[in-house]
Amino acid sequence: MTNSQRVQAAGAKRRRLMSAAARTVHRQGVERTTIADIARAADVPVGNVYYYFKTKDDLVAAALDEHRQQLELITGELDDLPDPRERLKRLVEGWVAQRDMAVRHGCPTGTLAAELGKREESELADATGDLVRRLLAWVEAQFRELGQPEPDALAVTLVGAYQGMSLLANALRDPQVMTREGARLTAWLDSL
């Protein structure tokens, strides 16, 4: 194995841990996820986890970062579309497409925010806030490009609707919540 391969492998391991952390925390919640759970999911010996992340909170932060990357990937792709309205509609489509995930575990970011939001003076709570703000900012930019007044309020409405429908779909174990609300949001975007 060459040096660069080793570095790559090491980077890969770190990334595996980040992804495993994101996945496991989404499925089980922060507090019900143990380091051992994440280690197992990443196929890494428990003791070795601490070589990459000093504390469990660091791993949770990494999970947040993973979601941030996901977000940027998605919005980055949507940015290729010429029409901001189309971008928003595709965003909603994506949410609906993931409805089964929402039914089982809720929105990854939203449930993380709900759990971490209870911590006071916490870096993790702040980081979750940042992540949410990032999504809001992107959505707001689309509304602004559409020439809408109060694009920030519209962004809160749209993202809030997504959070609400994910939470209800999860609580009711009903994917229809996602499809129906998704359709409503799409219609609403078209009506603007």
Partner DNA sequence: TATGAATGAGGCTTCATTCAT
Partner DNA sequence: AATGAATGAAGCCTCATTCAT
- Which residues are near its own copies by CB under 8 A? 27-32, 104-106, 110-111, 113-115, 117-118, 120, 128-129, 132-133, 136, 153, 156-157, 159-165, 167-168, 170-173, 177, 180-181, 184
Q: Shortest Cβ distance from residue 51 to DNA (Å)?
A: 5
SS3 category, 135: helix
Residues 174 and 184: their CA atoms lie apart, in Å, by 16
Q: Is 56 in the site for DNA (CB under 7 A)?
A: yes
Residue 45: which of DNA, its own copies, none does it interact with, CB under 5 to 8 A by kind? DNA
Based on CB atoms, which residue is closest to DNA, 43 or 86?
43
Residue 66: which of its own copies, DNA, none does it interact with, CB under 5 to 8 A by kind? none
Q: Is 54 in the site for DNA (CB under 7 A)?
A: yes
For residue 1, give the DSSP letter. -
Based on CB atoms, which residue is closest to DNA, 54 or 104?
54
Q: Shortest Cβ distance from residue 53 to DNA (Å)?
A: 8
Q: Buried (b) or exposed (e) across 120-159, using 16+ Cβ within 10 A?
A: eeeebbebbeebbebbbebbbbbbbebebeebeebbeebb
Residues 104 and 91: their CA atoms lie apart, in Å, by 20
Q: Is 33 in the site for DNA (CB under 7 A)?
A: yes
Residue 142: which of DNA, its own copies, none does it interact with, CB under 5 to 8 A by kind? none
| Two structure tokens written together for 117 | 């939001």
SS3 content of the chain, % helix, strand, coil (to 5): 80, 0, 20
Based on CB atoms, which residue is closest to DNA, 13 or 144?
13
| Two structure tokens written together for 40 | 């197992």
Based on CB atoms, which residue is closest to DNA, 53 or 143?
53
